[in-house]
Amino acid sequence: MKEFLTSSGKYPRRYILILISVAILAVGLNVPTIAESEEPPPSSATINLIDAQIAQQLATLPTRKVLVRNDKLYGGDHEYEGYKIEAVIAWLSQRTRVSVDNAAMSFIASDGYLSRVSLRELPKRAGILAFRESGGSREKPFRDSKSATVPFNPGPYYLIWEGTFDDKLPTPWGVTSVSLAADDIPAEHIPPHDTPQLNRGLEIWRTHCSKCHAINKIGGTMGPELNVPKNVTEYWQPERLRELIENPAALRWGSKMPPYNWMPIGDREAILAYLAAMKEKKVCNSEVTCH
- Contact residues for ligand HEC (CB under 6 A)? 204, 208-209, 211-213, 222-224, 226, 232, 241, 244-245, 248, 252, 255-258, 260, 271
CB of 211 to ligand HEC, least distance (A): 5
The residues with which 157 forms a beta bridge, in sequence order, are 175
Residue closest to 260 by CA, chosen among 271, 246, 244, 241: 246
* Cβ at position 274, least distance to ligand HEC in Å: 8
- 222 or 288: CB nearest ligand HEC: 222
Nearer to ligand HEC, 87 or 276 (CB): 276
- Asked if residue 32 has a cis previous peptide bond (ω within 30° of 0), the answer is no
* Min dist. Cβ of residue 288 to ligand HEC (A): 16
CA 245 to chain centre: 25
The least CB distance from residue 227 to ligand HEC, in Å, is 10
Residue with Cβ nearer ligand HEC (47 or 226): 226
Angstrom CA distances, 165 to 6, 78, 134, 261, stand at 76, 10, 17, 22
For residue 250, the minimal CB distance to ligand HEC (Å) is 11
For residues 144 and 267, which CB has a smaller minimum distance to ligand HEC in the complex?
Answer: 267
Query: Strands, E, within the chain: which ranges?
Result: 47-48, 63-69, 78-84, 103-109, 114-118, 127-133, 158-161, 163-164, 175-182, 214-215, 218-219
Cα–Cα distance measured from residue 256 to residue 249, given in angstroms and rounded to the nearest whole number: 9
Q: Shortest Cβ distance from residue 80 to ligand HEC (Å)? A: 22
Q: Which helix (H) or strand (E) holds 174?
A: none
Minimum distance, C-beta of residue 48 to ligand HEC, in the bound complex (Å): 22
Pairing of strands 175-182, 63-69: unpaired
Q: Which of 140/252 has CB closer to ligand HEC? A: 252
- Residue closer to ligand HEC by CB (options 88, 198) is 198
**DSSP 8-state class, residue 150:** S
Question: Which residue, 132 or 268, is less far from ligand HEC as judged by CB?
Answer: 268
Q: Give the burial class of 213: count Cβ atoms within 10 A of its Cβ; 0-12 exposed, 13-18 middle, 19 or more buried.
A: buried
